[in-house]
Structure 1
């Protein structure tokens, strides 16, 4: 009996020593956190000229176009331009919208018709997804792809003269271009930075070819506001039957961006 109590006592005293030799339980893993989305809203004004060849109202033949921004502003009826971006981690999702309307008229020679009036509306919408492939204290580089939607709507009116005959004709074309995009931002020191962005696409899906290039100098006013000034060019070559829109829009651009 004494031996039984001796063995029991030995086990009881040895148990704590054995437990002390076990490794400590692992510490709980830190929760994985994904940064919440950030947003940027941009309003901009693009003083664009227009060069190329168009036949956007097929009864009229294709014509060479060479309009300065001042020429366009004479007949400009209004428009809206803006962009928005949402960033989640390395991903950025960008939307850009641009709408404008121009109306021009002219007197016609001869007694049969008095004048001609042309109203032209242009709508461009673009959505892109960008992935940040490089980032350090000086540079950010994003690459991605997207879609650019075009809608051109034109109305032609030839007003009556001696013939008391009026001609009305409208033409509308819409198409979508896939594009491959890239963007680079370089921090120049202090509140200054430089942004270069561009895309290329079409590939005969919609247009034969389209490309865009934008460069801007940026000034970080405070934590939320960034002001930009630069130059933008946008080219498209779209052809369908007798409809032709082979033009380059280009000119200086100014913008203000609010980040939150």
Structure 2
């Protein structure tokens, strides 16, 4: 299976896609109007997020901070495995949602003469003019868990207030071979990982349109220095319902996080279009 197929089947960078049933079947729609007695409504949405990546990253405590600006095609080219999944539930006016992202990438091999610097794991400073061959593997996992209450619930418009947490885990491993007359030929690997939690507040709106179409928008903000300095995400999607149990959505999502603690820097913006398929049960 090629990388694009893996990327699509195990749907990557931080879209949550919720699709609603048309007004004629409101009990099945997590985003829509609840006209009958309360009951549980559940749905799962694997999705493809064609996200570009921009920002500044320092993968190691003793490493330099580097600027990153990669298009979706560049991110995809380095992808080993990526997965995105959105889960939602509702009982009466109480709503829950979870969003998962897993990305495993490998940096391309780089070689050439380098200035003096320190690579963790070598135990020596690399002399100026050294020649290096190496790669870096990076794994990112993000989970957002939200709960809230539907403060407005009518056939033409719903509005949810949300609160929860976002968890990040970033792991990096560098493997490099350095050659120089002063140190000879050396190969070493080194890895580090770091994690943090961010508190969040947010809101979600849902608007049914004509027929099987609907619109949805969601936003959250948090961090406040508890984990990251700040984080936010926004999404907007247009949804189409095929049956009471199956729908699709197309939209746009952006996810920002600014984390800078203990020598680790992860200040990035993931943004791009997204498509998803929703199953209700």
Verify same fold: TM over 0.5: yes
Distance 2:46 2:240 in 1: 15
CA deviation vs aligned residue, 1:72-91 (integer Å, no higher than 9, x gap):
11111011110111111001
Q: CA–CA distance in 2 between the matches of 1:137 and 1:86?
A: 19
Q: Does 1:84 align with 2:102?
A: no
SS in 2 for 1:105: coil
Correspondence 1:138 to 2:138: no
How far did residue 252 of structure 1 move? 0.6
Q: Which has the larger radius of gyration?
A: 1
User: Does residue 178 in structure 1 map to residue 196 in structure 2?
Assistant: no
- The secondary structure found in structure 2 opposite 1:108 is strand
5 Å-filtered alignment, 1:8-27, equals none
Residue in structure 2 matched with residue 66 of structure 1 by the alignment: 69
CA displacement, residues 88-143 of structure 1 (integer Å, 9 cap, x when unaligned)? 10011111111011101323214844411100000001110021000111111101
How many residue pairs get aligned? The number is 228
Tell me which of the two structures has the higher relative contact order, counting C-alpha pairs closer than 8 angstroms and 6 or more residues apart.
2
Partner of 2:185: 164
Match 1:123 to one of 141, 148, 160? 141
Q: Is the 8 A contact 1:57 1:156 kept in 2?
A: no
Which structure 1 segments of 5+ residues have no match?
Answer: 1-32
In 1, Cα distance between the equivalents of 2:108 and 2:63? 15
* Contact 2:61 2:262 (8 Å CA) reproduced: no
User: Corresponding residue for 1:8?
Assistant: none
- How far does residue 57 in structure 1 lie from its aligned partner after superposition? 2.2
**Residue in 1 that maps onto 2:274:** 253
1:198-237 to 2 correspondences below 5 Å? 198-237=219-258
Query: Offset at 1:224?
Result: 0.8
The answer as to whether partners of 2:214 and 2:239 remain within 8 angstroms in 1 is yes
In the alignment, which residue of structure 2 is the partner of 1:238?
259
In the alignment, what sits opposite 1:36?
A: 39
